[in-house]
Amino acid sequence: MKYKIALYKSDEGYSVSCPGLPGCWSQGATEDEALENIQDAIKEYQAAVDELVQDGELREVDVAV
């Protein structure tokens, strides 16, 4: 699955967010580290969503844009 991310350079390194997942942010000293960290943050975000929706039925849909 692919997610759009927003990468920001700062004096301390890079911060990165996933606009499609509100509150999903990470950072890194280098661009590569920030990208690796946002992948972990997205996985953790999705795991938290799965826990919150335990009583419901989760499905995935394909969306062409």
- Reported as a single tens digit per residue, the pLDDT across 17-44 is 999 999 999 999 999 999 999 999 999 9
Is residue 27 exposed (0-12), middle (13-18) or buried (19+ Cβ within 10 Å)? Answer: middle
pLDDT confidence of residue 56? 80
pLDDT confidence of residue 64? 87
Distance of CA 43 to the CA centre of its chain: 7
Q: Is residue 61 over pLDDT 90?
A: no
